[in-house]
Amino acid sequence: MLGYSDEKIVGNRIDFGEWGVASSGNASNVVLFNEALDRLWAQLKHDASSGRPLRKYASKKKDGPRSTDIFGLMQCTPDLPEIECYICLSDAVNYIQRYFDGRRGARVIFPSCNISYEDYKFFDATVSLAQPSFPSSTQSPRLSPLAPSGKHNVTTIVVTVVATFSVVILVVVFFCVFLRRKTKLEPLQQKTLAYEDVGLEDIITAESLQYSFDVIRAATDDFSENNKLGKGGFGLVYKGMLRNGQEIAVKRLSKDSGQGKVEFKNEVLLLAKLQHRNLVRLLGFSIEGSERLLVYEFVRNASLNQFIFDFGMARLFTPEETQGNTSRIVGTYGYMAPEYVMHGQFSVKSDVFSFGVLVLEVVTGHTNHSFQNETMTEDFLSHAWKSWRDGTSISLIDPTLIDGSNSVPDIIKCINIGLLCVQDDIIERPTMALVVLMLSSLSINLAAPLEPAFFMRTFKYSDKHFSVEYTYSTNKSRPSESKPKSSQPSIAS
């Protein structure tokens, strides 16, 4: 791979200027073909990114559907750090999934990496890099004739002085580079992080994703009103265009948004590692003074509301903290478990509650804070549970999800699972392992959910995070105590 630039490129990932081509034919079974291809990508990304310093390359064959084989190849420029190579390869995979989904073969080339796959063997598995050759230890080196004694002494002195001076210069240069790098990284290292040690890979990732504030300001025409796309929980979202012609969506956090440096850094580091066709892709971020910007890919003719990308508090607690108490309550109203909001208690079941809210949002097509009923006396979760209790769950379903009568029982099953996750009693909530089992099993019998905790709003919901008063109530009765209406579909399967 050959490249040149008027800027430093060694060790840096270049994420623009991509190019791709695909075969004209489609796979006979796209679903099974994509599943096999995804497994192949996962193996190749790991092998290629963790390769030797002179060889960030991997190729492999994977069994596909109907006795077909899938051959894949991935390669990064050898100067890239492991995490940068992994991100570049993930971007290339996303490119194929977006533009060449279901094709029998494709190739995508980025300046820093390239990937290919075909349904036939297109590479030589025996190719390996030639190792640098060294003189044989048995070969006697040539000895130059000895210089006269006087010249020999002068030469020795000159060599010694030059060598010493060179070592001193190298030490000084190394020290200067170290100080400069440390100063550059200081704004990215937050002393208030829950992790005492962010980790080298996280620091490298954060540094490589940082944009200049002036670049983003120019891309959005100084955050012009004409470029405003909308308003989110943490601030305004603008459309912009980088100098290379790439369209972006910029999330400009409001100064009173309530999201601190910890949450901001968490969102950057977590989203940088998430790559999926249904997740809006984080391109980078910018910090300058009180300004904090998140730069996402621009989704044409669509709203960012259909994507899930608020992970600000996903790493406020260390992996070892499976439960505990905190005096600092942060998060998005409607997704936080009641025990966390009321008492600062968190556990793995807190995440289960948030997942349940998310499931119900997906099924209904409404966000929990945008839901309003006629009386305004109940919130999203209460309305969902009462519809379940009264046997009218089908009224909750987003009409776009109903493509036939066969899909309704599965959707009702998801509503049941979502309501089990948002129960007030922590013990009654399932674990995520059980949730996965319930979603994948066709024969498991689901329990009837208890009524969830609910919040009664005392004034109109504000866009600002956690700016709402509430009262807390629950009634631990199961809907199975009253007979559901006949319109309630069976969920035994």
Which residues sit in the known binding site?
Answer: 251
Query: Do residues 73 and 105 touch, judged by C-beta distance below 8 A?
Result: no
Report the candidate in 478, 458, 418, 454 with the shortest Cα–Cα distance to residue 338.
454
Other C-beta atoms within 10 Å of 340: how many? Answer: 21
Whole-number Å distance between alpha carbons of 351 and 315:
12
β-strands 323-325, 282-288 pairing: unpaired
Query: Do residues 363 and 398 touch, judged by C-beta distance below 8 A?
Result: yes
DSSP 293: E
User: Helix or strand or coil: residue 78?
Assistant: coil
> Half-sphere exposure of residue 57, counting CA atoms within 13 Å on the CB side?
12
Binding residues for ATP: 251
Whole-number Å distance between alpha carbons of 230 and 451:
35
Largest CA distance in the chain: 111
Report the candidate in 121, 118, 125 with the shortest Cα–Cα distance to residue 37.
118
Report the candidate in 94, 90, 58 with the shortest Cα–Cα distance to residue 74.
58
Four-CA torsion 148, 154, 159, 162, nearest 10 degrees: -160
Write down the H helix ranges in 333-391: 338-343, 348-364, 380-389
